[in-house]
């Protein structure tokens, strides 16, 4: 968990806004460090977390969160964390075992990807539908706060042949269920292709998906490289965009911060205040 980022977003595990859809995107830079932040943040906030890890193994996320002071193994054991390991579950779809029924969440892999992500949505909905609130339930099990969905990352679905429209439908239903109905939060990561490689007529690429997700989200964090090029002391910059409805219109506020990722955290600087980059 990055305390400097919490200060920028004016939030903390003890006091955070519910009902938010947060979009994390990256271009020419790895934005996954923000997913690790939000994962550790919401676990510290005692939220019920459903994490769709489509890129890395559970051991990878666990090792990173361990450095941030959070144990994913304990959270999983206490049923605070529901983790879908895309690499392993995807393999079980392609190479089914006779003695196991398998997870239907990624069933689109064995069919036409164009059919949509209904089973993946049903997995999310069932994972976060358990009631929360109190320190302990009637059966002695711990009860958790508002549900949170984290996805790392949506571009994997595009590479597997899922259409951008299907991914937008998936995000819309997740936002309606978690943010509107359950007053929880959704955090999704999207890695964007290079602009020059994106076909202007391509309606199914990451740029089309990014534009659709921006319309849905209330907070967007876009990570990219420095416009001045490589710098040893600064790894890139994050554009933070708040989108809030006010009256009949929508108010948008943008701020840009430079960042440097450390082994156990990250530092953020208002653009122009770092001595490394002027």
pLDDT tens, position by position, 118-162: 889 999 999 998 654 434 544 556 789 999 999 999 999 998 888
Weakest mean pLDDT among 11-15, 28-32, 121-125, 238-242: 28-32
Nearest CA-CA partner of 64 in 266, 244, 260: 266
Nearest CA-CA partner of 178 in 9, 42, 277: 42
Task: Taking residues 155-184, report their average pLDDT.
Answer: 93
| Integer CA distances (angstroms), 75 to 3, 33, 48, in order | 21, 20, 9
Whether residue 96 has pLDDT greater than 80: no
233 pLDDT band (50/70/90 cuts)? confident
For the chain, give the mean pLDDT. 84
Whether residue 277 has pLDDT greater than 70: no
Fold assignment, 18-130+141-194+202-221: Rossmann fold (3.40.50)
pLDDT tens, position by position, 31-88: 999 999 999 999 999 999 999 999 999 999 999 999 999 999 999 999 999 999 987 7
Dist CA 39 CA 183 (whole Å):
18
Domain boundaries, the chain: 18-130+141-194+202-221
Q: What percent of the chain has pLDDT over 70?
A: 79
111 pLDDT band (50/70/90 cuts)? low
Is residue 52 within 8 A of residue 89, CB to CB? The reply is: no
- Joined together, the tokens standing for residue 147 give 């549900």
Dist CA 24 CA 171 (whole Å):
13
């Amino acid at each position: 968990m990055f305390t400097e980022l919490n200060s920028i977003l004016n939030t903390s595990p003890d006091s955070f806004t519910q009902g938010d859809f947060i979009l994390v995107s990256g271009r020419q830079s790895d934005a996954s460090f923000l997913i690790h932040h939000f994962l550790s943040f919401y676990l510290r906030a005692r939220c019920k977390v459903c994490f769709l890890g489509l890129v890395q193994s559970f051991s990878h996320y666990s090792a990173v969160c361990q450095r941030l002071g959070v144990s994913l193994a304990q959270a999983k054991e206490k049923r605070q964390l529901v983790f879908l390991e895309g690499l392993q579950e995807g393999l079980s779809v392609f190479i089914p075992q006779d003695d196991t029924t398998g997870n239907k969440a990624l069933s689109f892999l064995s069919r036409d990807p164009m059919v949509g992500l209904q089973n993946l949505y049903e997995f999310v909905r069932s994972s976060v539908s358990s009631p929360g609130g109190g320190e302990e339930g009637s059966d002695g099990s711990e009860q958790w706060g508002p549900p949170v969905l984290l996805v790392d990352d949506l571009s994997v679905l595009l590479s597997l042949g899922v259409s951008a429209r299907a991914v937008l439908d998936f995000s819309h239903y997740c936002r309606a269920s978690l943010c509107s109905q359950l007053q929880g939060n959704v955090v999704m990561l999207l890695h964007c292709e290079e602009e020059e490689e994106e076909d202007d007529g391509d309606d199914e690429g990451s740029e089309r998906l990014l534009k659709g997700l921006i319309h849905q989200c209330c907070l967007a964090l876009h990570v990219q490289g420095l416009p001045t090029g490589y710098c040893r002391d600064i790894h890139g910059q994050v554009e933070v965009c708040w989108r809030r409805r006010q009256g009949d219109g929508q108010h948008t506020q943008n701020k840009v911060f430079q960042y440097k990722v450390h082994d156990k955290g990250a530092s953020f600087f208002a653009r122009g205040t770092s001595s490394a980059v002027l």
